[in-house]
Amino acid sequence: MVAETSRFDVVGHLVSLRRYARSLTRSDIDSEDLVQEALLRAYEKRGSYREGRQLGPWLLSILHNVFIDRQRSRSAEARRMERVAELQDPHLAPAQDDHMRLAEVRRAFMALPEEQRAALHLVAIEGFTFAEAAVTLEVPIGTLMSRLSRARASLRAMENGGKAGDERRAHLWVVGGSDGSSR
């Protein structure tokens, strides 16, 4: 057992491994990582080491192969990233437009009367059903639906810069009946 350990003694080859790794990577940090990975691979493959072969060249060839594998992996990753970049829209909308829009919506929402704001919040943001929201607000379901309708109409009107009554009339269509006007 002692003879086999001395035969596979890599400590004496660390200087040449580090020197070669440094020349390949041009970086102290990357070269240390490369040596560590090569030694790990050598340890895992120690069964393939032939008895009469010199250990130094065998370790250097493993280090070189690990370096090549890393280069290929980086190259493949770069090609994948290029493909992803080609699929993305090169002209992204500025983020501040979204922030401004969100601020406008928030101001419009906060400008709603309290009962409309509460009804809209429970249904649109919290995801309550009409029945659940009506129970929470302790109002009949018809009242809740009326508040929701008025809140949505007010937000649409604020969006278009008009008044709630103007907006509601323009978008209201009576299906299967008559609203007093002919269309």
pLDDT tens-digit series, residues 50-92: 877 888 999 999 999 999 999 999 999 999 999 988 887 777 6
Q: What is the dihedral of CA 86, 88, 90, 94, to 10 degrees?
A: -160
Q: Is the pLDDT of residue 172 over 70?
A: no
Handedness of CA 67, 72, 73, 78 (dihedral sign): positive
pLDDT surpasses 80 at 181: no
For 3, 39, 59, the CA distances from 50, given in Å and listed in that order, are 15, 17, 12
Find all residues with CB under 8 Å of 178, minimum gap 6, and list them. none
The two tokens of residue 99 are 């922030």
Domains of the chain: 11-87 (1.10.1740), 97-170 (1.10.10.10)
| Contact in structure between 41 and 87 (CB atoms under 8 Å) | no
Alpha helices in 112-162 (DSSP H): 114-120, 130-137, 141-160
CA-based torsion, 90, 95, 101, 102: positive or negative: positive
Does the pLDDT at position 166 exceed 90? no
Residue 169 above 90 pLDDT? no
Query: pTM of the full predicted structure?
Result: 0.46
